[in-house]
Structure 1
């Protein structure tokens, strides 16, 4: 790496600010899809529970926050560092110049797909284009793309196609993250006016001909992804400030700062996308309505059960994008996060960030391997389950499938399986058959508690969470 990586690697995203954008959303206005194929796909997606997200772009070369250092806002996650930080124009030129050295020669999507599958993940959402406008696919509508880098001569240079194919072969549902705003094209950040913030540099109503070019550009790139990359299950759209003005909720602080309407005609885009991909789930994040088939709280877990389809997108470490030294969450924390989310009716989309060489941190593989060991025994209480009241209570989380109740005991770090357990808020019939997922031996009840023989506890060993199966 060049000097930029040494100077810029400390620039991380602000988790609090982005999470706040999604925690304030009014989910009571959720619109249930009417298309039977979308309903079927949504039901399938709700059953798989656990997915992988990957933020990857040229920004990994410098080890900085994805895209946001280009945004001229006085916010911590937009901070610029390095030799060009004093001048935005010089910085943008240098940032876009990263493409000239981006060459992820260790790129091996089959390795990722195998690791994710072994962890129990069943769907993928990959960042085909973030706000900076760099296409991780061979778009015909821009030169700012992966195939115009030193990696362009590699047989696997069309990275999005390779990733979707590798994961699809392992049985994954596949999703394409796509940023609606594009800070590289002149039809969004029109150069006549300098950008002041994340929004377009002009009022689309005053310059309709320029906005129409941007709408066409956006439509065309999405159509490429929907036609040239095999079957796609999810179109995951980010950049919620690009939206019709009448969808802005004045009670939500960040939405109040959107200066004007930025309507890209989602009805037209969704119709086109589903003509190529029947049943496609469209996730127009934070724009409540018919094009947000499920909601996406970011870097957080709702504190209660939600009956609508939802997914928490959460980083395995601290950052969405690659940083040289990442602070990964513990395996116990990640397993507890998955169980907590599923018990409240949601899915977990866990983000891992590839580096500039095309590899993950080794710790990411280790975490997924450890999660996979736990899932081999306990996933029976995860996949295809429904939430069961009281959902979460104390150290307990509950799901159900048919007449079977799954009671997860979320242990503290290093906590052995207690010899007596009393599920909080749950009444267990006296004639119920109770077993541990790790053991098929029937357990006895006494005064509302479930007794665990010492020998059984020792055989099970220390786990992040213990699962009682109650039939």
Structure 2
């Protein structure tokens, strides 16, 4: 490992400080701005991490990374690194998801009220879930059993199935590729998640990687129908000038200038897909049209477009006995997120045979039942102060209609009254429970608004949350 000089350390510290305070860069393309506005109305989406790793029920890609972290551990423990890599890459020879049924996924997502999806076309391990011409490490390669299936290009089949249900399409794509020689050159052993060679010493090899990445993204933008979102992961792949304290912490070796020429990629992608939303995750700049807090919900509204990406279970990828979040938790997360002005991207990992756990379908059914009644308080809304008061979250339509959404604990009956502060309806404002036309009585008591709910509502069996429409 090369040692940084004092000047180099100061330069890195300066870059980190500069980039850490980079503000959100607002898009200027009118078509992208329009699509972003539409996207903020969709609110609820589906994400899917899927690849050969599902056969082992392990974390996606990361066990290949030679960093000693909790999420990079190899199983069984103690297996020599290169022996493990060979076994991992050989998973392609047995990947045969014969029960792959994207139409069922799409129907379940639509029933749950999901308006868009993001599918992993390629994760960091470099295994392509689409029919790329740039690599033979792909699901359509002759050595992969599923390549004989007419639906072998699972990305195309999945996009088509969801598009038929009216669900918008997002393509997840990993910028780093740990299988291609222009990123992890096998002449040198990888030391961490970053390139295994010195980019300044071998600039032509990096140019090959830039072109490889450009070509693959162009394939996705030209051969897979209408795409609404290009969701790029692997934020350490960025220009040196855009490194942050966080991204520098991801490198065990001196940081390199991993510039993949995002201006050219974005221009090309939008030429083929006008209005395309580009999400260059964690790289704060003109190609991060919205930000993506992972597995967390911000404490308060943010002043830029954002989306919480979160797992339904405990893992992004398929785990045989994964434990899924209760429906109550998922709905409360959704309400909390939209009250703060964000979107909720919920991940389900398909298994090695191409199916979801039955439990995932049951959760989506229950979410859909709630959304069918209460969806108007979720879709096409924006954040409104104070966004939350105790167990009540707020959302607002463009016409000024406000929704006060009371979060019910698991097993809690609808109370006789709810109280909130920080938002004062106009005198004489009409209120009713969404899904019930009966007008509600309300009054102001000191600094609180007290809304009376009909006794029949407590006997109605309503669960998870109750939305009150305030005209």
Q: TM-score range by the shorter chain?
A: over 0.9
Q: Secondary structure at the match of 1:138?
A: coil
Write the distance in 1 (CA, Å) between the matches of 2:246 and 2:309: 23
Give the deviation of 1:259 after TM superposition: 1.8
Q: Which of 417, 420, 433 is matched with 1:420 structurally?
A: 417
Structure 2 residue aligned with 1:58: 52
Name which of 413, 436, 440 aligns with 2:437. Answer: 440
Q: What is the CA–CA distance in structure 1 between the aligned matches of 2:128 and 2:116, rounded to whole Å?
A: 21
Q: 2:151 aligns with which of 151, 156, 180?
A: 156
Q: Taking structure 1 as reference, are residues 325 and 310 closer, same or farther at Cα in structure 2, changes over 3 Å only?
A: same
By how many angstroms is 1:403 displaced?
2.1
- The equivalent of 1:456 in structure 2 is 457
Equivalence map 1:182-261=2 (5 Å): 182-250=177-245, 254=249, 259-261=255-257
Residue 132 of structure 1 corresponds to 125
Q: What is the aligned partner in structure 1 of residue 319 from structure 2?
A: 323
Q: Partners of 2:414 and 2:248 in 1: how far apart?
A: 45
Rounded Cα–Cα distance in structure 2 between residues aligned with 1:433 and 1:326 = 45
Shift in Å, 1:86 = 2.1
Cα deviation, residue 307, structure 1: 1.9
Indicate if the aligned counterparts of 2:64 and 2:85 stay in contact, CA closer than 8 A.
Answer: yes
Distance of 1:403 and 1:156 partners within structure 2 = 47
Q: How many residues align?
A: 445
**Secondary structure, aligned partner of 1:33:** coil
Note if contact 1:274-1:280 (Cα within 8 Å) is conserved in structure 2.
Answer: yes
What is the match of residue 14 of structure 2?
none
- Confirm or deny that 1:176 pairs with 2:177: no
Aligned counterparts of 1:393 and 1:256: Cα–Cα separation in 2: 42
In 1, the alpha carbon distance for the partners of 2:250 and 2:101 equals 39
State the TM-score, normalizing by the size of structure 2.
0.92
Note if 1:395 corresponds to 2:391. yes
1:214 Cα deviation after fit: 0.8
- Contact residue 193 and residue 251 of structure 2 kept, 8 A: no
- 2:70 is matched with 76
Stretches of structure 1 that go unaligned for 5 or more consecutive residues are 1-24
TM-score, normalised via structure 1 length: 0.92
Aligned with 2:420: secondary structure? coil
- Tell me the secondary structure at the aligned position of residue 125 of structure 1: strand
Please give the alpha-carbon distance, in whole angstroms, between the structure 1 residues aligned to 2:332 and 2:313: 15
Name the structure 2 match of 1:430. Answer: 427
Q: Distance in 1 between matches of 2:250 and 2:189?
A: 22
